[in-house]
Structure 1
Amino acid sequence: MKPAIVLVHGGFVDGSGWEGVHKILKKDGYEVTVVQNPTISLADDVAVTKRVIAAQPGPVVLVGHSYGGVVITEAGNDEKVAGLVYIAAFAPDKGESVNSLIKDPKPGAPVPPILPPQDGFLLLDKTKFAASFAADVKPETAAFMANSQVPWGVDALGGAVSQPAWSRFRGIPGI
């Protein structure tokens, strides 16, 4: 029995960004579910992801992109989770959050064009969105993504991991 694949999106976007991956995995015979996290707080996103995990009939592989890596690091402690996949994602340790991981970038490191918070939410500068966030997609797709951004809650960035799920898999050969 193949595990179910659960795809978890990052900040500023929704699950539709997983469409291409979803098609490939479905063609290969996997059951695939795309989580639609509200990205208001880490606790809310973990709760939504756990509901998706619970709905799967068997083992689950969680796949997270960007902030989705933080979500799977916390939600992946569920015993149904057989593996974690991080795609250009944060993989925080206990007590870490996106805020703590990005607070002191190295000199010259790329810094995302995050605009100042508005009512507790963040957006990326639309004019810099493609170069900073969607450089590997068609320009018209990147433009659409810039215009359909999902505001990312400041509380989500500050949500700290209580127990990193990846620690469950330490010492397993091949991991």
Structure 2
Amino acid sequence: MTHNYTPEPSGQEPTPNPYAAELAAAGVPEEMHEWLKDHGIGRLAAKMGIVFTEMTPEHLVATMPVEGNQQVAGILHGGAHLVLAETLGSFAAGMHAGRDRQAMGIEISATHHRSASSGTVTGTATAVHLGRTLTTHEVVMTDDDGRRLSTARITNIIRDKR
């Protein structure tokens, strides 16, 4: 996996990561745990059951169960599509930004093509643009049969951490 979050050698013992179990369960590689030690993958992403399977700034893949993320009609909630897209696009942008910079979403949109009432949704974020101050990712959500459920686009701004 390619990213900008390899821990810097400090000569000190690292402090225990309170989110280590959450990060491992979510499929986050060990070398990225230091980056996420203060917040884990985020409370909402954890509640939604998002699990990462591939993680690079250019290509990020994760799954999410339909069960528990449905709307009143029994199908995957449209907002759940956007949570998955925002999570993937923001993680990819954050990996591109690196340790001293921060990615923040500034725009997201989605088109829903079909519904899902069971199974697992797979989201695939592909970089459209990885710049110094902006990133844009297209995120495609598919069902267990590979059918496209929705297409989202997310743009993140990259700023120096304060």
Pairwise TM-score range, normalised by the shorter structure: under 0.3
TM (normalized to structure 1)? 0.25
- From the two aligned structures, give the one with the greater strand fraction: 2
- Greater relative contact order (CA < 8 Å, ≥ 6 in sequence): 1
- From the two aligned structures, give the one with the greater helix fraction: 1
TM (normalized to structure 2)? 0.26
